[in-house]
Chains A and B, each alone.
Chain A
Amino acid sequence: MNFISYLKEVYCDKPKKPSAPRVRFFSTSLTENVEFFKREFDESADLSVRYVRIDDIDCAVITIGGMVDKETLTHSVVTPITQSKILGNTKKEKYEFIRDNVISASDQVQVSNFQDAFNMIMSGFAIFAMDGCDCMLAVGVQGYPFRSVSEPSTEVIQRGSREGFVEPLMVNMTLIRRRLKSTKLKFEMSRVGTVSKTSVCICYMRDKVSEDILNKVRQCIASVDLETVVESGYLMPYLEGDNDFSLFSGVGMTERPDTVCGKISEGRVAVILDGTPNVLIVPYLFTEYFQHIDDYSRHPYFATFTRWLKYMAFFLSILLPGLYVAISTFSPEILPGPIFMKIALAVGRTPFSLMTETIIIHLIYEIMREAGLRIPRPLGHAVSIVGALVIGETAVSSGLIGAPTLMVVALTAISSYVIPNLYEPISILKFVFVIVGGIFGIWGIMIVFTSVLINICSKNSYGVPFTSPISPFNMFAMRDVLVRLSWNFLSRKSIKVQDLPGSEIEK
């Protein structure tokens, strides 16, 4: 195989989806069934089989250690079946009597094949099996440990609920249901990952969502061909839909149940993955990056002010370093005299060109940021001190780096944290603009900026233009974009995402 064919095979040919495993039904022999369980789990240490005899009939309770609450298991399954009088003449009748009258757990599902039984016990159910029966009872006695509901550290707010999503899917569903007590709220479960079989739930309001969007989300989830899905970020490329390259994502992410409730009330779909507190939202538009749940609990004038700050911070963080390099290098006449003198003085004292200097400081800053994220907390302060001393003091005083450049980088870094969800595109774009500004000046920056604009404008999120309602423009929808009007005005009419201008979605 030549190199081109190899590349084609790797990048172009779609991998064949593994065929669905053959369904194997239970036998009527308990021994055979239990043996099969043990064989499939290869006698794994956490598989637990507790045998009991009920009226001379062999029974078994199969669980995964650590996934069940032992107290609940004892009270609602083991004690009732061992101490109750079981009525019925045949094994089948006795099984049905236990199912209907003895086991007191409210969550019960009858399963007839091993595949379903495996899924159940690995989700924290206990399987009750009886000899002579070709079906088993999955009893909900989940009791695995999980992090308690707490305030998400990535989306801190000043006013409002302090609850954030946690890892177990069911808890997250409850957090949403508690806020939207509507029969129109629907959760749809499915599984992703051929090996991990992770539960995924799509959540929407039946009366708000577009069937078109919903079907696309279902298709996207069905198209996931990964073996393991352990984080919602794994699903993002599949939910993006199109293969158009863009630095910006059309899939939103939040850890806040109130944000999800707000989004699904506008016709969006939330995708909740078991095992992660990050819930995905689609469709997600560019303007939503600048909206925050805090905006809606503040005075409209202040919310509008902060929103403008966010837009300014975004443009500042992507353009400031590039413009600084471009203007100082090619068009210094634009700068006021005293500022130009300070920059010229600083540049004259440093060994690098302005572009190289800016890139170096940005790279050092990014390295420190990554280190700060991964480093054990007790060492975090050490990194801060080293960073402040090495970059802030020594680099400038030794004449390696100019103070104005350091100031620009610092301002850029702070601005980029105003919209944390946009950090990824910002960090790449600022490098691009520094390079372009250093080579082509402000003319190059304008050209590349317009290209970025085209890139953003060409993107559609589930048939809705990514830049809607700014372009295509809709005056009424702008009431919550550049300004945040008061609730008296916002509540007059709600705009669903599929109703935004330029939307190709069937209503």
Chain B
Amino acid sequence: MEKRPAISVSQLFCLLFISRMVVSMTYGNILIGDSEIWDHLISAPISALLTFVILIPIYWLFLMDKKMNVLDNLREVCGKLGFWLVAIYVFYFLIVSVHTVSVFEKFIFNAINPPISVPFLTALLLFSSCYGAYKGIEAISRASGLIFVFTVFAMIFFLISLIPSIEPINYKPLMYCGTQSVFEGIKLLISQSSCVPAMAILLPMAKGNHKKGIIIWNMGVYFVFVSLILLVMGTMGDFSQTQLFPVYTAAGIGKFGSFKHLDSLYLGIWISGIFIKLSLFLMLTGEGIKKIWGEQVRKRSILIFGFLISVMSFFSDKLELLSSPFMTSFLIWFLIIISVIIPLVLIIIRRQKQKRGAI
């Protein structure tokens, strides 16, 4: 078995936290459609519990052999079929990368509308992310450790700047329009949990207390999500429902002493987060390719995928489809297959093989 890069559990979960935060920061009309954002306050704790449940097969598989990730298991246990199953993971990570780029483009187009060429900016982002992916998990996780610190400080800054603008009257009763939004929120939050399949590959790379890391990460992610909803709703009320990116709008409202226009701070953290997430998922795509075709192809594949996504970004109409609610169902089923079903099947096969003494 090849030498694996080693990172600490805290680095891993900083990396996953940032990757998940990117989703929370762009949470809004563009993702949720007509669903009530306020009701997602109930969806969040339920989703947190469900995330724990979804993580059980991955963690169990990891406990069976702490040196092997799901791709190694597929290669060892499933023989030639393993190649095809690895390809499914590669496809998922690619979809997540494309999805992330499409959200980036939508955000830049709709929220900022800068006087620059967005496809070229996307190309720069992808090229840089390919570099990050090429450098590997150690570089990405170390960088994410630094960005994590800035993210935490920025979050505190947002909190302090928005608290004076909170109007209690904006907090309306929960589930006022029924439970539909809660269910939709759960579906959406789970479908956006792309970090869960990532863990199936990343857990063996990390040293330390994984269980503690998973618990803190999951609780932290949903705690921040709930805090953002409370802040956004408290400051903007139902107006937030009309915003494509309400967190960004709220950041523009915030004031702290003579500090105004905190949206630029938001932008800084968000773009760094997008970069880290894209680098991570391109790297994971490369890991899958490495399992199929070897190390040399891995390096080339990162560039090829980066280029492909970059080309796809020019056809923004197609990408808009990817960032629409249409994707939610597709992503959620995909996630369940690769995070629950495949690991469970692997556990069963491994157990049987262990009993026969084949492993």
Please report A residues at the B interface, Cβ cutoff 8 Å.
Answer: 330-331, 333-334, 436, 439-444, 446-451, 453-455, 457-458, 465, 467, 470-473, 501-502, 504
User: In the complex, are the beta carbons of A450 and B10 less than 8 A apart?
Assistant: no
Q: Which of B62-70, B142-150, B190-198 contacts A (4 or more CB under 8 A)?
A: B142-150
Q: Which of B114-131 contact A (CB under 8 A)?
A: 114-116, 120-121, 124-125, 128, 131
B125 proximity list for chain A (CB < 8 A): 447
Cα distance A451–B279 in the bound complex, in angstroms: 10
Cβ contact of B114, chosen from A436, A441, A471, cutoff 8 A: A441
- In the complex, whether B139 has a CB less than 8 A from a CB of chain A is yes
- In the complex, whether B264 has a CB less than 8 A from a CB of chain A is yes
A446 proximity list for chain B (CB < 8 A): 267-268, 271-272, 275
A447 proximity list for chain B (CB < 8 A): 121, 124-125, 128, 271, 275
B120 proximity list for chain A (CB < 8 A): 440
A333 proximity list for chain B (CB < 8 A): 261
CB distance from A110 to the nearest CB of B (A): 49
Q: List 16 A-B contacts (CB under 8 A).
A: A330-B114, A333-B261, A443-B112, A443-B267, A444-B124, A446-B271, A450-B147, A450-B272, A454-B128, A454-B139, A457-B138, A458-B136, A458-B142, A471-B146, A472-B142, A502-B142
Cα distance A448–B124 in the bound complex, in angstroms: 8
Cα distance A471–B149 in the bound complex, in angstroms: 10
User: In the complex, are the beta carbons of A334 and B264 less than 8 A apart?
Assistant: yes
B279 proximity list for chain A (CB < 8 A): 454
Top 8 closest A-B pairs, CB basis? A458-B139, A471-B145, A457-B142, A458-B135, A446-B271, A451-B128, A450-B275, A471-B142
CB distance from B114 to the nearest CB of A (A): 6
**Additional A-B contact list (8), CB under 8 Å, known A330-B114, A440-B124, A457-B139:** A330-B116, A443-B112, A444-B121, A447-B271, A448-B124, A454-B131, A458-B138, A471-B11
Cα distance A36–B187 in the bound complex, in angstroms: 90
B135 proximity list for chain A (CB < 8 A): 454-455, 457-458
User: In the complex, are the beta carbons of B8 and A440 less than 8 A apart?
Assistant: no
A441 proximity list for chain B (CB < 8 A): 114, 116
- In the complex, whether B140 has a CB less than 8 A from a CB of chain A is yes
User: In the complex, are the beta carbons of A472 and B145 less than 8 A apart?
Assistant: yes
CB distance from B6 to the nearest CB of A (A): 8
CB distance from A433 to the nearest CB of B (A): 13
- In the complex, whether B221 has a CB less than 8 A from a CB of chain A is no
Cα distance A462–B276 in the bound complex, in angstroms: 26
Cα distance A465–B11 in the bound complex, in angstroms: 13
- In the complex, whether B132 has a CB less than 8 A from a CB of chain A is yes
**What is the chain B residue whose CB lies nearest that of A449?**
B272
A334 proximity list for chain B (CB < 8 A): 261, 264
B115 proximity list for chain A (CB < 8 A): 330
B145 proximity list for chain A (CB < 8 A): 470-473
User: In the complex, are the beta carbons of A450 and B124 less than 8 A apart?
Assistant: no
User: In the complex, are the beta carbons of B132 and A454 less than 8 A apart?
Assistant: yes
Cα distance A331–B267 in the bound complex, in angstroms: 12
Cα distance A450–B115 in the bound complex, in angstroms: 22
- In the complex, whether B78 has a CB less than 8 A from a CB of chain A is no
A454 proximity list for chain B (CB < 8 A): 128, 131-132, 135, 139-140, 143, 279
- In the complex, whether B230 has a CB less than 8 A from a CB of chain A is no
Cβ contact of B128, chosen from A330, A450, A457, A472, cutoff 8 A: A450
Cα distance A350–B358 in the bound complex, in angstroms: 78
Cα distance A501–B140 in the bound complex, in angstroms: 16
- In the complex, whether B175 has a CB less than 8 A from a CB of chain A is no
CB distance from B121 to the nearest CB of A (A): 5
CB distance from B265 to the nearest CB of A (A): 10
**What is the chain A residue whose CB lies nearest that of B258?**
A336
**What is the chain B residue whose CB lies nearest that of A450?**
B275
B340 proximity list for chain A (CB < 8 A): none
Cα distance A470–B150 in the bound complex, in angstroms: 13
CB distance from B72 to the nearest CB of A (A): 22
A453 proximity list for chain B (CB < 8 A): 143, 146-147
- In the complex, whether B292 has a CB less than 8 A from a CB of chain A is no
**What is the chain A residue whose CB lies nearest that of B135?**
A458
B261 proximity list for chain A (CB < 8 A): 333-334
**What is the chain A residue whose CB lies nearest that of B8?**
A472
User: In the complex, are the beta carbons of B11 and A472 less than 8 A apart?
Assistant: yes
**What is the chain B residue whose CB lies nearest that of A457?**
B142
CB distance from B74 to the nearest CB of A (A): 28
- In the complex, whether B108 has a CB less than 8 A from a CB of chain A is yes
CB distance from B63 to the nearest CB of A (A): 24
User: In the complex, are the beta carbons of A467 and B146 less than 8 A apart?
Assistant: yes
Cβ contact of B276, chosen from A444, A450, A471, A501, cutoff 8 A: A450
Cα distance A504–B5 in the bound complex, in angstroms: 10
Cα distance A411–B131 in the bound complex, in angstroms: 31
CB distance from B207 to the nearest CB of A (A): 10
Interface string of B166-195 (1 = CB under 8 A from A): 000000000000000000000000000000
B147 proximity list for chain A (CB < 8 A): 450, 453
CB distance from B258 to the nearest CB of A (A): 9
Q: A439-B116, A446-B268, A472-B8 are in contact. Are A457 and B124 (CB under 8 A)?
A: no
Cα distance A58–B162 in the bound complex, in angstroms: 97
Which of B11, B121, B138, B139 lies at the interface centre, i.e. has the most chain A CB atoms within 10 A of its CB? B139
A449 proximity list for chain B (CB < 8 A): 272
B142 proximity list for chain A (CB < 8 A): 457-458, 465, 467, 471-472, 502
Cα distance A444–B124 in the bound complex, in angstroms: 7
Q: A440-B121, A443-B108, A443-B271 are in contact. Are A457 and B114 (CB under 8 A)?
A: no
CB distance from B4 to the nearest CB of A (A): 12
B131 proximity list for chain A (CB < 8 A): 451, 454-455
A448 proximity list for chain B (CB < 8 A): 124, 128
B128 proximity list for chain A (CB < 8 A): 447-448, 450-451, 454
Cα distance A330–B268 in the bound complex, in angstroms: 15
Cβ contact of B8, chosen from A457, A470, A501, cutoff 8 A: A501
User: In the complex, are the beta carbons of B121 and A443 less than 8 A apart?
Assistant: yes
Cα distance A444–B121 in the bound complex, in angstroms: 7
**What is the chain A residue whose CB lies nearest that of B118?**
A443
B272 proximity list for chain A (CB < 8 A): 446, 449-450
User: In the complex, are the beta carbons of B143 and A471 less than 8 A apart?
Assistant: yes
CB distance from B216 to the nearest CB of A (A): 15
B275 proximity list for chain A (CB < 8 A): 446-447, 450-451
User: In the complex, are the beta carbons of A457 and B121 less than 8 A apart?
Assistant: no
Q: Which of B98-116 contact A (CB under 8 A)?
A: 108, 112, 114-116
Cα distance A447–B10 in the bound complex, in angstroms: 24
User: In the complex, are the beta carbons of A473 and B276 less than 8 A apart?
Assistant: no
Cα distance A467–B114 in the bound complex, in angstroms: 34
B121 proximity list for chain A (CB < 8 A): 440, 443-444, 447
**What is the chain B residue whose CB lies nearest that of A459?**
B139
Q: A333-B261, A447-B125 are in contact. Are A442 and B8 (CB under 8 A)?
A: no
